[in-house]
Amino acid sequence: MAEVLVLVDHANGEVKKPAAEMLTLARRLGEPSAVFIGPGAETAKDLLARYGAEKIYSVSDPAALESLVAPQAEVLAQLVQEKQPAAVLIPSNSGGKEIGARLAVKTESGLITDAEDVQAGDSGPVTLQSVFAGSYTVNAKVTKGTPIICVKPNSATPEQAAGAGAFEELSVSISDEAKAARITASEPRKSSGRPELAEAAIVVSGGRGTGGDFSPVESFADSLGAAVGASRAAVDAGWYPHSSQVGQTGKQVSPQLYVAAGISGAIQHRAGMQTSKTIVAINKDEEAPIFELVDFGVVGDLFQVLPQATEAVKGK
């Protein structure tokens, strides 16, 4: 069976959930090989094997991460040339899509981004995407080169399956050209301790209707173990960091449950949450377009409704 390369998303060796999801999907297409770029592969090894990685290719040279995405694309291109994999799966976040983009050009291969499912087909993998703000679903496939598929978080339920986890340290030469853009300073953001927005099973978001007071939104999120999101209006007002923005120009989320509090439901916001399995909204205005999407809606003041719901949830 042909190898399927899976680029592992991690933060200093701590493997993120989408990696296990993608290894699970990769098993449908062939033999999963994890590609781990950056320091920490030794720590990640066991987990990757547990989710089915037959091989683990590790590139520990920190230079591969210092210069944005170009070196990572070079590493993958080298592997694609050597291993002729059946497919390459990459996390569909902004960096991952750019790695896929450069890899596609380098290897003359077709690229599909934002895949929500990947199935084996007669002539290679078939993907499912949601397009036009979630109003259409599309099945697509790659017709040239090695299928390069960027997969969204929450696209599969991770299933364990013991893989051999054969460890191989790769030596790669990274071109000077790939190092041309450099990260010269980095200011870490304080962690909220909540789940990561793009990967969370439940997201509670606040909008302009919070008037800048996110405490009811945060308390409710914490009662459910949820991530906190925000509309662009709330982000632009400086109430919440940009990295929490849900929508076309923020995060595209697809959780089991999405709660919108004080958010009107503009098309650009809907583009980022419309594929959520269950949608709930709290809004003072019964005409708010967000209500068109909801499974459950409360017409009311979020400052009344959320604290009461939080208490009720905590009491269960």
89 lies in the site for ligand FAD, by CB under 6 A: no
Which member of 4, 56, 88, 126 binds another protein (CB under 8 A)? 126
Site for another protein in 253-312 (CB under 8 A): 256-257, 267-268, 271, 274, 278-280, 282, 286, 291-301, 304-312
Contacts of 229 (CB under 8 A, 6+ apart): 197, 203, 204, 205, 206, 244, 245, 246, 250, 251, 253, 273
Q: Provide φ and ψ at 2, rounded to 5°.
A: -75, 155
Torsion, Cα of 172, 175, 180, 183 (10° steps): 10
> Does residue 69 belong to the site contacting another protein (CB under 8 A)?
yes
C-beta of 13 vs 307, nearer to ligand FAD: 307
Does 202 sit near another protein (CB under 8 A)?
A: yes
Tokens 């205005």, located at residue = 285
Length of the chain: 316
Does 69 interact with ligand FAD (rule: CB under 6 A)?
Answer: no
Supply the minimum distance, in Å, between the C-beta of residue 203 and another protein.
12
Q: Using the rule CB under 8 A, which residue among 72, 130, 231, 254 binds another protein?
A: 130
Q: Which amino acid is at 137?
A: T
Q: Give the list of residues 6+ apart from residue 225 with CB closer than 8 angstroms, or none.
A: 195, 202
When asked if residue 282 is in the footprint of ligand FAD (CB under 6 A), the reply is yes
Q: Is 104 left (phi over 0), alpha (psi -120 to 50) or beta?
A: alpha
CB of 222 vs another protein, minimal distance in Å: 13
Q: Give the contact letters, 137-176, x = binds to ligand FAD (CB under 6 A), - = no.
A: ---x------------------------------------
Q: Are 191 and 219 in contact (CB under 8 A)?
A: no
Binding stretches for ligand FAD (CB under 6 A): 111-113, 131, 140, 207-209, 231-234, 245-250, 262-264, 266, 268-269, 272, 282-285, 288, 301-303
